[in-house]
Structure 1
Amino acid sequence: MLDILVQEENERESGETGPCMEYLLHHKILETLYTLGKADCPPGMKQQVLAFYTKLLGRIRQPLLPHINVHRPVQKLIRLCGEVLATPTENEEIQFLCIVCAKLKQDPYLVNFFLENKLKAMASKESTNVITEDMLKGQDSLATDTGQPIQPEETPGTAGAEHMEKEDELPQQADDLSFSLDELNVTSSPESSTVCPNQDYNLVNSLLNLTKSPDGRIAVKACEGLMLLVSLPEPAAAKCLTQSTCLCELLTDRLASLYRALPQSLDPLDIETVEAINWGLDSYSHKEDASAFPGKRALISFLSWFDYCDQLIKEAQKIAAVAMAKAVRERFFVDVMEPQLMQTSEIGILTSTALLHRIVRQVTSDVLLQELVYFVLGEHREPETLPNINRHPLRHRLIEHCDHISDEISIMTLRMFEHLLQKPHEHILYNLVLRNLEERNYIEYKPLCQEDKDVVENGQIAGAIDLEEDPLFTDLSPDNTGAQEWLSVSPPVSPEHPKNDGKTEVHKIVNSFLCLVPDEAKSSYHVEGTGYDTYLRDAHRQFRDYCLICLRWEWPGSPRSLEKCNLEASFFEGHFLKVLFDRMGRILDQPYDVNLQVTSVLSKLSLFPHPHIHEYLLDPYVNLASGCRSLFSVIVRVVGDLMVRIQRIPDFTPKLLLVRKRLLGLEPEGPVIDHMTLLEGVIVLEEFCKELAAIAFVKYHASSTPGSWLLRQNLELTAT
């Protein structure tokens, strides 16, 4: 029969229905086949019926689903799929469901035929399967399940035109990913607002059942079908998908169960280094894996399912995406992960933080990323104060873990924040840093009269605070000869150095950082290929990447005018910078790995093309208000302490050079050197100052706004 229908279609013009197809449609042949398939009489009939439906929908080019005598039996057959798992017909069931999903993807408006009223569905289940001729005649004039009368001869073009008109009426707000689900529901089209929770989406329910199949291939095909359905643009289908099916519950419950199945003894290094996971491709053989470790199978299963959830939300229609992402946040992040991150067991903290870090690295969906960011950092955007730094308990705990007594926990948490900062979401940097720099109240600002502009006292502009006068630098007194010698190396401050626009001549900034570490504490010039210029290429590439991330955030090109800032408010750098500065201040007494991670996070922050970040972190000549500190002032204090401690270490320079060569692998490991932690800290400090100098140089030569800088780069690339 199928061959006859295909041959008939090939012999006729496109869109013309032949007599065989008309007979099939008008005489309810598909209804009869459904009845035989449901009864599975004779045995094996269900399998044959499913195969026939699949081939009919797949091989016939003309649209069949708009016909009431096609989509009704198709809908009834859908209900039979997935009722029992591991049946002999499971393969045919998933093939049939996938071809229906593919047809809906081609013509999304057809999905309205498959949104079934629950009351009708219950009535149909209670009714007998015997269909009389009178009932068949009466059904021709019945409305479809969406409440719209569809005649068998109705062409899909008419319905498609109506669909396009409704699509044009959708408000522009629905395109904004930051809108909440409630806002999207209110502003959606009238069609979506009429959908009530008393609807069934049997196509989704059948696919959800088949995702639990013990046959992995069937489960993957069911996941593919769900991905096709969630991407349909119909608001009515998206709302029904999230409100009338258990899709959100399935996603989150499986995430939670797979997360709980992970052993607590997982090595964080294994979590970090396990190969990239793509959903559906997580076939794993423990015997064939040379790098197997306990719990790897469970870890791959969890990461694979999280990747599927991420991709599903990424492809989904806006309403469905927001609803699924909120469900993941509430039912998985908050209910399952947060208690693990807030626990006091060091092993548990380390494992859960490593898993959070892996999730941060893996997430790609904008909507899910937003929920993850709000889960980790909260939604607050007002400036921080010391009394309210624990306003969001998880954020407070994670930042405190950056300065944990366990170095492993500190390093892992710092890595998590480092990768979080590289994610394309404006709230991350604003919540952690920018909201506290908005008013620029870290600056000591006094409006200058004409006399002050002309008079310079002791080589310093009037009203500026010298380092020795700052309360943060009381230990750098003139009586301290080592500190006095070091201070004389720094470039003198002149009236032209501090500028209210936050821009200082680049060569003076670069020299300030390069001269910060005294010559007797430098060792890089003894080793070839470790100069300041080695950082320039990396800084240029990284700054370009950060500009691409920040391009759509519309940051200003210059600092906010001081006249418009509230300089009277007390300044607090924020909990995140406070912990980083505290860590930086102990760089001479911390392990090498911790120092590398702290400086890595600070350098990433310095790369962001925001004028306030540049001014606060990279301008040594910014006139700090009393009691405030900046990155440069923290390093100044570290170097002052270093100058005192150098005097107490015999053969300091040879030991420093030996440690550097060992770190570079140029010298074999030998006897333990005294003051190893201090020497390694000095090397990290020197390299960090060179990196900051390179970043300042690259940012200075970029345009004042990321957009115009990128435009120039694109023009240069096009020209070459």
Structure 2
Amino acid sequence: MDMFNKVTAFLQQALETHEPSINLLDSFVDHWKAITNYYIETTDESCPVKHTDIPWRLKQMLDILVYEEKQEGEETGSCMDYLLQHKILETLCTLGKAQYPPGMSQQVMLFFSKLLGQIQKPLLHLINVYRPVQKLIHLCGLPESQTEKEESQFLFALCTRVKKDPYVLNYILEVTRESQKQRSSSTSEESVEERCSGSSSAAGAPSSPSARTEAQLSSIPQTGIVPVLIHLGKSQKSRIALRATESLLLLVSLLQEDTEQLLAERTPVCHLLAQRLTELYCLVPSTLDPADIHSLPGLQWRTQFTEDSAEDSQSFPGSKHVYRFFCFLDFCDQIIKEAPKVLATKVAKAIHHQWLKGVIEPQLLQMSEVGILVHTALLSCSLRHTHSPVLLEELAQFLLGSDTHCEQRDESTSHNLRYCLIEQCNHISDEISITTLRVFEELLKKSNRHILTNLVLRNLEMRCYRLPGSGCGDERQGAEADVLEETDDLEEDPFFTDMYEDSGFGGQEPLLSLRGVREKHNPSTHIQAADVVNSFLCLVPQEAKTSHLVQEVGYDTYVHDANKLFKECSALSIEWNWPDSAKATESAPNTDFYEGHFLKMLFDRIARILEQPYELNLQVTSVLSRLAVFPHPHLHEYLLDPYISLSPGARSLFSTLVRVICELMQRIQHIPNVTERLMIIRRQLMGQEEETMMDHATLLKGVIVLEEFCKELAAIAFVKLPMEQQ
């Protein structure tokens, strides 16, 4: 029994015996001394670092630091103190710069990357940390570098750390108190120059935007983390370029006010982003097919780094450069969307100055039709890829200008580019006209109030298109009142009365009955929603109608599409504070009404719908349909109310369509079997028959588009009017 007790006590003592604890500091120092002894003892300078024990020693040192931090908690451990006091990071940076032994810079960058990524305590505010980090940044992005992979990893770890502790940014950017004082003084001087621009110009100070930009860039260091990240973003190795762009995105998305000021004013980030975007745009060939440009899918900036991007970018000649440009445009758009307001605005303005004004505008105003066509198509696609409100505002200002006053008929120089683009919609080249109309359609798809105001609403604000003193609409004088009664000119038109013959509006067309639904914006009128809808449905004479003979294009389809478009445009304009009702005009002066250059161009095009190519007609009606569906009372009245009393010389969309119908009725009288011919053309357009040469093909296609457009407008009115009563 005693023997058993002794054995038990011995085992218990053995279990309670602990191994002697390892001294972390001694081990850490031993590893560091082993590294330094290598440089003292070795004589073979050509031996690569991977053939030595240096990488293993560095890993052990890092593991000790990480383990010590977990043990010490909030306190700084002795190993970390030793690292800082003996300037180990400084020494490592020097060894990496010397590339001794060969490959040492990679090991140093890996050590820094893991140190910044694994140590949780703030480090970058310490002088013995941020000074070596600054030196290591200067070793990145050098020509013909063999360490791009390690550089991208190091910079990503650094940007991740700055994202976590934004206050350390000034240490990374090497901003001293003296430079901050210079920045504040230069900022105050710049504000004084802006207030006293006349005296500054007299003194020879830079007054133009380009001169000020160059002057500002000359005071900004062109080295540092931002230029390095831009450089690595151009790498042919997709993983390296992806990591660099991710790092830059982390850096610019810092939300503190002081950090965004530092990035905007003490780095060339705005200039370099705009410069890179301009470079990629200039690489796009001028011989592209606009159809290929318009067929591009929505590209995201990460797309170019995927494995399939190389194959996708070969879909048509020159597509590689197109893909790279639009991916970088999306990257700039994403940066502007995530960056704080001050920085986002400066990036957008730099893009406006360098890319839009410097490159795009001269190309749009050139004489070569081929060049105009390609660059207009690229502009249209660029608008489609722009989503950030700040960049969109710059695009709108670039294309349309800032004017909000009513346009004059002879006004063409207030914003030259806007006027030229509208004129290009009436270009002798139908392809240029179609492509330019797409630019305006893309503009109308954007959530920017200024676009609608500048293009249309500023000319409708005073409602001068109406006769002074008239109500919201002419009162109906019974069921037999003339639907198209607008002006004396129409009543005198010989084709006006012909439209109401029995053969004109036969019973085959289903008309709507919405009795009791009134217009909300002026309850004093007695215009019924059904009458408005039916006015558009009845415009095209029965012998020219063919849609009711095709099951696939029933009226329900138009209503469904109009409802979808109405919801889309209502969502865009929900925050624009548009009025619910039309502005009173009882005391408005009887001034000459001008619809503005944009609406004049659209109405002129609609007036020629019977003689224009089918694709051009589709584009014109698409733009007008989108305009008509916006929930502004003046737009609704001017484009969708058949009963407004127009002022002398004014025209509305409905009155323009009436003129087209009058011309149509005159021309189809000379075409035998017009309904059968229209059906053949319709089946050809739907791909049900092979296209063959036919007399009056352009006219017949125009008739089909006209019928479709009138049904679209009727469906829009059907969707909008009932909703206005809710």
Provide the residue aligned with 1:64 in structure 2.
123
1:317-352 superposed Cα distances (whole Å, 9 cap, x missing partner)? 211111111111111111111111111221111111
Provide the residue aligned with 2:157 in structure 1.
99
Q: Give, in whole Å, the separation in 1 of the partners of 2:521 and 2:230.
A: 61
Quickly say closer, same or farther: Cα 1:146–1:68, change in 2 above 3 A: farther
Specify the code of the residue in structure 2 equivalent to 1:10.
Answer: K
Contact 2:383 / 2:442 at 8 angstroms: preserved in 1?
Answer: yes
2:166 paired with 1:108: yes
Q: Please state whether the residue corresponding to 1:387 is helix, strand or coil.
A: coil
Output aligned runs, 1:192-231, within 5 Å: 202-231=224-253
Quickly say closer, same or farther: Cα 1:26–1:682, change in 2 above 3 A: same
The offset of 1:598, in angstroms, is 0.9
Q: 1:517 aligns with which of 536, 540, 543?
A: 540
Q: Give, in whole Å, the separation in 1 of the partners of 2:251 and 2:378.
A: 30
Q: 1:38 aligns with which of 80, 97, 113?
A: 97
Provide the residue aligned with 1:332 in structure 2.
355
The offset of 1:498, in angstroms, is 9.6
Q: Give, in whole Å, the separation in 2 of the partners of 1:445 and 1:351.
A: 46
Contact 2:96 / 2:106 at 8 angstroms: preserved in 1?
Answer: yes
Q: Please state whether the residue corresponding to 2:723 is helix, strand or coil.
A: coil
Q: Give, in whole Å, the separation in 1 of the partners of 2:424 and 2:674.
A: 34
Q: Please state whether the residue corresponding to 2:301 is helix, strand or coil.
A: coil
Q: Give, in whole Å, the separation in 2 of the partners of 1:544 and 1:437.
A: 23
Provide the residue aligned with 1:505 in structure 2.
528
Specify the code of the residue in structure 1 equivalent to 2:595.
Answer: E
Specify the code of the residue in structure 2 equivalent to 1:310.
Answer: D
1:512-570 superposed Cα distances (whole Å, 9 cap, x missing partner)? 11111121221122222323222111111111111111111111111112246x34232
Q: After the TM superposition, which of the residue ranges 640-649 and 507-516 deviates more from structure 2?
A: 640-649
Provide the residue aligned with 1:476 in structure 2.
493
Provide the residue aligned with 2:63 in structure 1.
3
Q: After the TM superposition, which of the residue ranges 200-209 and 313-322 deviates more from structure 2?
A: 200-209
Specify the code of the residue in structure 1 equivalent to 2:278.
Answer: A
Output aligned runs, 1:528-567, within 5 Å: 528-563=551-586, 566-567=588-589
Specify the code of the residue in structure 1 equivalent to 2:633.
Answer: P
Output aligned runs, 1:488-637, within 5 Å: 501=522, 504-563=527-586, 566-637=588-659
Q: 2:437 aligns with which of 407, 414, 426?
A: 414
Provide the residue aligned with 2:196 in structure 1.
none
Quickly say closer, same or farther: Cα 1:91–1:515, change in 2 above 3 A: same
Using the size of structure 2 for normalisation, the TM-score is 0.78
Q: Give, in whole Å, the separation in 1 of the partners of 2:544 and 2:479.
A: 29
Quickly say closer, same or farther: Cα 1:309–1:519, change in 2 above 3 A: same
The offset of 1:81, in angstroms, is 2.2
Q: Please state whether the residue corresponding to 1:551 is helix, strand or coil.
A: coil
Provide the residue aligned with 1:267 in structure 2.
289
Q: Please state whether the residue corresponding to 1:416 is helix, strand or coil.
A: helix
Quickly say closer, same or farther: Cα 1:77–1:291, change in 2 above 3 A: closer
Q: Give, in whole Å, the separation in 2 of the partners of 1:466 and 1:361.
A: 41
The offset of 1:93, in angstroms, is 1.9
Provide the residue aligned with 1:684 in structure 2.
705
Specify the code of the residue in structure 2 equivalent to 1:532.
Answer: Y
The offset of 1:398, in angstroms, is 0.9
Quickly say closer, same or farther: Cα 1:607–1:51, change in 2 above 3 A: same
1:44-102 superposed Cα distances (whole Å, 9 cap, x missing partner)? 333222211111111112222233332233223223322x2332333222211111100
Provide the residue aligned with 2:137 in structure 1.
78
Provide the residue aligned with 2:368 in structure 1.
345
Contact 2:221 / 2:266 at 8 angstroms: preserved in 1?
Answer: yes
Provide the residue aligned with 2:696 in structure 1.
675
Q: Give, in whole Å, the separation in 1 of the partners of 2:577 and 2:695.
A: 51
Q: Please state whether the residue corresponding to 2:593 is helix, strand or coil.
A: coil
Output aligned runs, 1:374-389, within 5 Å: 374-389=397-412
1:346-373 superposed Cα distances (whole Å, 9 cap, x missing partner)? 1111111111111011111211111111
The offset of 1:298, in angstroms, is 1.9
Q: Give, in whole Å, the separation in 2 of the partners of 1:355 and 1:454.
A: 49
Contact 1:500 / 1:562 at 8 angstroms: preserved in 2?
Answer: no
Provide the residue aligned with 2:205 in structure 1.
none
Q: Give, in whole Å, the separation in 2 of the partners of 1:308 and 1:626.
A: 52
The offset of 1:691, in angstroms, is 0.9
The offset of 1:698, in angstroms, is 0.7
Q: If you compute each CA radius of gyration, which structure gives the higher value, 1 or 2?
A: 2
Quickly say closer, same or farther: Cα 1:246–1:262, change in 2 above 3 A: same
The offset of 1:411, in angstroms, is 1.1
Contact 1:116 / 1:200 at 8 angstroms: preserved in 2?
Answer: no
Q: Give, in whole Å, the separation in 2 of the partners of 1:103 and 1:111.
A: 10
Contact 1:616 / 1:631 at 8 angstroms: preserved in 2?
Answer: yes
The offset of 1:638, in angstroms, is 0.6
Contact 1:468 / 1:476 at 8 angstroms: preserved in 2?
Answer: no
Unaligned runs of 5+ in 2: 1-60, 182-217, 512-516
Contact 2:566 / 2:629 at 8 angstroms: preserved in 1?
Answer: yes
Percentage of matched positions with identical amino acids: 49
Provide the residue aligned with 2:717 in structure 1.
696
Q: Give, in whole Å, the separation in 2 of the partners of 1:334 and 1:456.
A: 57
1:84-136 superposed Cα distances (whole Å, 9 cap, x missing partner)? 2332333222211111100111122221323424798xxxxxxxxxxxxxxxx
Provide the residue aligned with 1:245 in structure 2.
267
Using the size of structure 1 for normalisation, the TM-score is 0.79
Q: 2:146 aligns with which of 62, 82, 88?
A: 88
Q: Give, in whole Å, the separation in 2 of the partners of 1:381 and 1:400.
A: 20
Q: Give, in whole Å, the separation in 2 of the partners of 1:498 and 1:624.
A: 19
The offset of 1:606, in angstroms, is 0.7
Provide the residue aligned with 1:440 in structure 2.
463
Provide the residue aligned with 2:662 in structure 1.
640
Unaligned runs of 5+ in 1: 121-144, 148-195, 710-720
Contact 1:581 / 1:634 at 8 angstroms: preserved in 2?
Answer: yes
Specify the code of the residue in structure 1 equivalent to 2:439.
Answer: M
Contact 1:37 / 1:45 at 8 angstroms: preserved in 2?
Answer: yes
Q: Give, in whole Å, the separation in 2 of the partners of 1:71 and 1:289.
A: 43
Specify the code of the residue in structure 2 equivalent to 1:323.
Answer: K
Quickly say closer, same or farther: Cα 1:487–1:627, change in 2 above 3 A: farther
Q: 1:26 aligns with which of 81, 85, 102?
A: 85
Contact 1:115 / 1:237 at 8 angstroms: preserved in 2?
Answer: no
The offset of 1:460, in angstroms, is 7.1
Q: Give, in whole Å, the separation in 1 of the partners of 2:133 and 2:383.
A: 42
1:634-691 superposed Cα distances (whole Å, 9 cap, x missing partner)? 001111111112222222222222222222233x226422211111111111111111
Contact 1:486 / 1:518 at 8 angstroms: preserved in 2?
Answer: no
Q: Please state whether the residue corresponding to 2:395 is helix, strand or coil.
A: helix
Q: Give, in whole Å, the separation in 1 of the partners of 2:67 and 2:309.
A: 51
Provide the residue aligned with 1:160 in structure 2.
none
Provide the residue aligned with 1:193 in structure 2.
none
Specify the code of the residue in structure 2 equivalent to 1:67.
Answer: L
Quickly say closer, same or farther: Cα 1:544–1:286, change in 2 above 3 A: closer
Specify the code of the residue in structure 2 equivalent to 1:219.
Answer: A
Q: Give, in whole Å, the separation in 2 of the partners of 1:273 and 1:525.
A: 32
Contact 1:280 / 1:304 at 8 angstroms: preserved in 2?
Answer: yes
